[in-house]
Chains A and B, each alone.
Chain A
Amino acid sequence: MGCRLTVSKEENGYKVTGNSCKRGAAYGIKEMTNPTRVIPTTVKIRNGFLKRLPVKTNGSIPKELIFKCMEIINSVEVEAPVKIGDVIIENILGTGVDVVATKTMASISCKKI
């Protein structure tokens, strides 16, 4: 699965080889110039079916902001019930990216979901 990309620096930018689609070329150049990542993690949830609610950034953020984002995400506590896709933190660090729930979680009172 996947492709093995080779990115080489040329006079006017980067050249990507080994990709089998356009997405691969764009990804290769991004990895060299401005690598970004989606952060999947969890936040504390009160009254939830589980102790932690899985969340993710709904877009990718620059790699160097990962730990700063984690600090903010770790300071948050939400209350069940939560629906998948609910925004937990809006526009984190001004990146234009939201942190959203990746799971629907019922509150503890309705145990089976």
Chain B
Amino acid sequence: MLKYEVVVIGGGPAGLAAAIEAKKNGVQSILVIDRDRELGGILQQCIHNGFGLHVFKQELTGPEYAERFINELKEMDIAYKLDTMVLDISEDRVLSAINTKDGFMKIKAKAVILAMGCRERTRGAIAIPGTRPAGIFTAGTAQRYINMEGYMVGRRVVILGSGDIGLIMARRLTLEGAKVLAVAELMPFSSGLTRNIVQCLDDYNIPLLLNHTVIQIKGKNRVEAVVIAQVDNDKKPIPGTEKEFDCDTLLLSVGLIPENELSKSANVKLSHITGGPIVNESMETTVKGIFACGNVLHVHDLVDWVTKESQKAGKSAARFIKNQLKDSKDIVKTFAGDGVSYIVPHMIRTHNIEDTLDLLMRVKEVYKNSKLIVKADGKIIKEIYKKHMAPGEMERISIPSSILKEQRIREISVAIGKEGE
């Protein structure tokens, strides 16, 4: 059996940052495992710019952002295995993995970091009626075809879903000479970043149809048309609003789901809201010594936050190995109040917090001129005024550890309040 102190599953931005940080914190033997042919994860297909504004204070493309971390990993002599699939993780941190060179492997780890990212929801997940012709892609698959493999996916395109990948693909297809007829969005607002709506749709006069969805796909061998209709408040199509778009391609950007099949095999408890593991202040899951970070934990808006969260997971794994993470019965629970859909982390052992406790969350709707109200056992400890909040953009709140350690708090909640209340 192979033995490592830390095994990181996934060589994307989360896995790379976690592995590097673990090494910086004194872990000697680390192995990163990835099922793809190169490190970098989905960043390699995200050739657009805008990454790294927070971490590097400059705008990088996905491959550039990845390459910085890949180089650092290699300079630090951290071992990695590519084209390798992890099949199973046990609760006592024994992994089964396989590739064509080493064959089947059992690997024992003192700490495991889950960094498998997320996967896209497909047509099946949203059950669009109609035939099943060629020409229906998830936005990410189309991105990989166009940006890495050199295949154009279509000429006349309709996109369903205005998440960031959908928006970015609208621009990408337009630049490559395709006609994007429309981006349809079920919700009354886009779930993408504002800058992407401006730079990907407005720049190219691509219409964004809010409160609309695809109700029919036509075509036998290849997509020939899709029918889009407006929806009412219950998200039901309104008869008489149907519009047919002649197109050869439909891209779906209808949400991402944390990829937690392996976490389940290790008995890691998942949150039904984020779809990712329930974690504590150290990014440790409900199974001792198994940590999680990045999109496997909850879907992020910016890779910069993935990096920061993963550094914490890497550092925590190092502290775990050195027996520096202390267990405690006094656990502070976080609670998503009115207007907030979730908060990560879910549980906090206050004495393990080093300087600040960072809470990451998403709000449920678009809020203007509102505030985030942080309460500890019902008492307000922080209020943050926000001109604009939207579900597409993650909110972060830092709470100094001094506030938490002084008092014996049992619950921290974050809710949305109107300005002036």
A residues in contact (CB < 8 Å) with B: 1-2, 4, 18, 37-42, 44, 49-52, 54, 56, 63, 66-67, 70, 84, 102-104, 112-113
Given contacts A44-B150, A54-B147, contact A102 B61 (CB under 8 A): yes
Could you name 16 residue pairs across A and B whose Cβ atoms are closer than 8 Å? Answer: A1-B193, A1-B393, A2-B193, A4-B388, A37-B203, A38-B59, A42-B47, A42-B150, A50-B150, A51-B148, A51-B149, A52-B148, A54-B47, A54-B62, A54-B63, A84-B67
5 closest Cβ pairs, A-B complex: A51-B150, A103-B63, A54-B47, A102-B61, A40-B48
The number of residue pairs between A and B whose CB atoms lie closer than 8 Å in the complex comes to 73
In angstroms, Cα B172 to Cα A18, docked, is 30
Are A52 and B195 in contact, with the CB atoms below 8 A? no
Distance between B303 CB and nearest chain A CB, rounded to angstroms: 12
Contacts of B301 in A (CB 8 A): 1
Distance between A84 CB and nearest chain B CB, rounded to angstroms: 6
Distance between B73 CB and nearest chain A CB, rounded to angstroms: 13
Distance between B70 CB and nearest chain A CB, rounded to angstroms: 9
Contacts of A40 in B (CB 8 A): 47-49, 61
Are B387 and A4 in contact, with the CB atoms below 8 A? yes
Are A56 and B147 in contact, with the CB atoms below 8 A? no
Distance between B369 CB and nearest chain A CB, rounded to angstroms: 11
Q: Does B199 count as interface, using CB distance less than 8 angstroms?
A: yes
Are A52 and B61 in contact, with the CB atoms below 8 A? no
User: Which of A50, A66, A84 interacts with B148 by CB under 8 Å?
Assistant: A50
Q: Does B38 count as interface, using CB distance less than 8 angstroms?
A: yes
Please give 9 more A-B residue pairs, beta carbons under 8 A apart, in addition to A1-B301, A40-B47. A1-B54, A18-B387, A37-B199, A38-B59, A51-B148, A54-B147, A102-B60, A102-B61, A103-B63
Q: Which residue of B lies closest to A71 (CB)?
A: B177
Q: Does B164 count as interface, using CB distance less than 8 angstroms?
A: no
Dominant SS among interface residues on chain A: loop
Q: Which residue of A lies closest to B44 (CB)?
A: A103
Are A70 and B194 in contact, with the CB atoms below 8 A? no
The number of chain B residues touching the other chain, given as a range, is 20 to 34
Q: Does B64 count as interface, using CB distance less than 8 angstroms?
A: yes
Q: Which of A2, A37, A39, A67 has the most CB of B within 10 A?
A: A2
In angstroms, Cα B48 to Cα A42, docked, is 10
Are B47 and A50 in contact, with the CB atoms below 8 A? no
In angstroms, Cα B93 to Cα A65, docked, is 55
Q: Does B302 count as interface, using CB distance less than 8 angstroms?
A: yes
Q: Does B82 count as interface, using CB distance less than 8 angstroms?
A: yes
Given contacts A18-B387, A52-B148, contact A102 B47 (CB under 8 A): yes
Are A54 and B61 in contact, with the CB atoms below 8 A? yes
In angstroms, Cα B64 to Cα A4, docked, is 27
Contacts of B194 in A (CB 8 A): 2, 4
User: Which of B49, B60, B82 interacts with A112 by CB under 8 Å?
Assistant: B82
Contacts of B203 in A (CB 8 A): 37, 63
Are A56 and B149 in contact, with the CB atoms below 8 A? no
Distance between A94 CB and nearest chain B CB, rounded to angstroms: 21
In angstroms, Cα B393 to Cα A111, docked, is 38
Q: Does B2 count as interface, using CB distance less than 8 angstroms?
A: no
In angstroms, Cα B301 to Cα A41, docked, is 22
Are A52 and B49 in contact, with the CB atoms below 8 A? no
Distance between B257 CB and nearest chain A CB, rounded to angstroms: 23
Are B67 and A56 in contact, with the CB atoms below 8 A? no
Are B64 and A42 in contact, with the CB atoms below 8 A? no
Contacts of B302 in A (CB 8 A): 1
In angstroms, Cα B47 to Cα A50, docked, is 13
In angstroms, Cα B199 to Cα A2, docked, is 14
